[in-house]
Structure 1
């Protein structure tokens, strides 16, 4: 009944053009699948990756225009995957199922990146840590502050979300940060936050609060290994800049 309401006539075969269009669509999906399975990491363009991800939520129809519209709206594949589901659904053709499918991929990517650092000495897995942070934070539209608390072997004890907002003493209190380290039995930490503007270059406030926390940590035997700032344009290490 539902198909009849969509205009299908069960008494006559569908028009030849419709059959040809259906065959072309299935052929396109098959070719895309073959390239995905047999090609390398760059076998598909970003919009084609999205196009393929949308197949599960949109089993019929052309997902290419939707994929291209998503890239245009959010700027990149990463921007799409990190977008809020409600924002995704404002793009024509994207429903709740499509938004959920894309959200699931983003969650999987974060968990894979996190898995590369859990249980390992963070300082010897530095690139894996940066990949995890970039996956999780580079495309946030709000400034987020986190503290990674480490044990004596520099393994991650806790990835603590301190709060959202500019990094200053109104958002992150040196005394509270060090107190949590003591409560957890942490001997070191890495401060992390993102710049939604895209540029990861540190501000005066970033430098000032880092030095305050590092000074407080030294008094109680807690080392601040680094303060990493994440942006869409890359990352900056305050340690590498000689600012800690």
Structure 2
């Protein structure tokens, strides 16, 4: 194909890549998204789709956290892009989970909050995870216990405690999300925490906190004085 026959967007895309190499911060959000989309759609002008995604979801964070079914509603967003989105989100979640997967000493509960938010903070359904710690607060494991619906997930204390015993943990930090956006603990959250704390104590284990995360906020039952209530 001669330069004259090349699609109109090839020169534009080449210029974007040049700017990316020289100064990535100079690119607008839609331009970065154009180049990202072009990794999967190299033979399409990706600017319209980039702008449509940003308009629909309100910015890059919303674009990359959007549920697959809503992404697929956009004209031009097909299964190949959906797979690419899943890949980038999984990479981001694992990078955020690094402190929880490398046996580091957990010095700040916010590290758990950040990992949880990256992994499932924007999920449309509730998920319940647990960080299992040793006597020195090193993370032994970070595992999902259950996944439920938009407003509840079934959690059985015996499953949580079985994970703790399996990994020879002494401390537990419980974590789940509230898809509705309000991190305030519900009465069932408080009762479950108390039940788990009592059962853990009988086995010589400690529930250190129960964190509830949303897209941009979180609540700590320990900070609220609710860890042993119920």
1:32 aligns with 2:2: no
How many residue pairs get aligned? The number is 226
1:47 aligns with 2:30: yes
Residue equivalent to 2:174: 191
1:240 aligns with 2:228: no
Residue 60 of structure 1: which of 31, 43, 56 is its match?
43
Question: How has the CA–CA distance of structure 1 residues 178 and 234 changed in structure 2, closer, same or farther, with 3 Å as cutoff?
Answer: same
Contact 1:54/1:63 (8 A) holds in 2: yes
Contact 2:106/2:139 (8 A) holds in 1: no
Contact 1:110/1:136 (8 A) holds in 2: yes
Question: How has the CA–CA distance of structure 1 residues 97 and 174 changed in structure 2, closer, same or farther, with 3 Å as cutoff?
Answer: closer
User: Cα RMSD (Å) of the superposition?
Assistant: 2.9
Contact 1:81/1:103 (8 A) holds in 2: no
Residue equivalent to 1:3: none
**Residues 51-130 of structure 1 aligned to structure 2 (within 5 Å):** 51-130=34-113
1:229 aligns with 2:209: no
Contact 2:99/2:106 (8 A) holds in 1: no
Question: How has the CA–CA distance of structure 1 residues 47 and 241 changed in structure 2, closer, same or farther, with 3 Å as cutoff?
Answer: farther
Deviation for aligned residue 1:126: 3.8
Deviation for aligned residue 1:117: 3.2
**Residues 194-233 of structure 1 aligned to structure 2 (within 5 Å):** 194-233=177-216
Larger gyration radius, structure 1 or structure 2: 1
CA distance in 1, matches of 2:187, 2:26: 43
